[in-house]
Amino acid sequence: MSAHAEALHGGDHHGPPPANQSSRIAPTILGMFLFIGTEAMLFGSFFAAYFFVRVVNPDAPSTWPPAPNEFPQFVAGINTAILVTSSFTMHWALQSIKRNNRRGLQAGLLLTILMGTAFLLTQFIEYAHIGFNTSDGAFASVFFGLTGLHGAHVLVGLLLLTFAANRAFRGHYSPEHHHGVELPGIYWHFVDVMWIVVYVTVYLI
């Protein structure tokens, strides 16, 4: 076959040509960032509702939450430390597989899952002893709505990390192919950063 005919028929290549990648970021990573952007807007709507309730409250910001209710700042602070630490173990897991350290990958994922689970359990205990519920005014509704929304994201992150850990123990990752760890890691870091914003906004300000 002539060179012209090979060029015309694509040589030995069958099927459509490979997709053009105009960005240096892998499509899967870019997709995760776009998804996180939509999640950030979702949280933004809940923050808007929270600040609206605070603005219309005649006693805010001198007394918030409205008396006699109190937010457990100490417990929330411990939970914040737990979740921030889990970001470091997640980073350790990703860096381990990039260096082909499978034991480090497995240990990092397990520690992250354990700390994420501890965060959720602590939050459930906080809900059980906080002294008010969603029927106790608008402030309670936005409090449970905002912290509950974040808790739901933590749960989703734990499911993703559990799936990644299961694959890690089956030897599915390598320094060249580790998107199955990197994508849940990006999501987990987003969850951690969002909790810091929630903690500062709700419990400290």
Interatomic CA distance for residues 167 and 97, integer angstroms = 12
> Is residue 14, in this structure, part of any structural domain at all?
no
The amino acid occupying position 131 is G
Model pTM? Answer: 0.83
The amino acid occupying position 134 is T
> Is residue 20, in this structure, part of any structural domain at all?
no
> Is residue 4, in this structure, part of any structural domain at all?
no
Quick check: helix, strand or coil at residue 24? coil
Query: What is the model's pLDDT at position 54?
Result: 79
pLDDT tens, 2-31?
444 444 454 455 666 655 555 577 788 888
Residue 88, both tokens = 């470091």
Query: What is the model's pLDDT at position 203?
Result: 87
Interatomic CA distance for residues 150 and 199, integer angstroms = 11
Chain centroid to CA 86: 11
> Is residue 75, in this structure, part of any structural domain at all?
yes
pLDDT tens, 124-155?
999 888 888 877 777 888 889 999 999 999 99
Look up the domain containing 71 and give its range. 28-204
The number of folded domains in the chain is 1
CATH code where residue 183 lies? 1.20.120.80
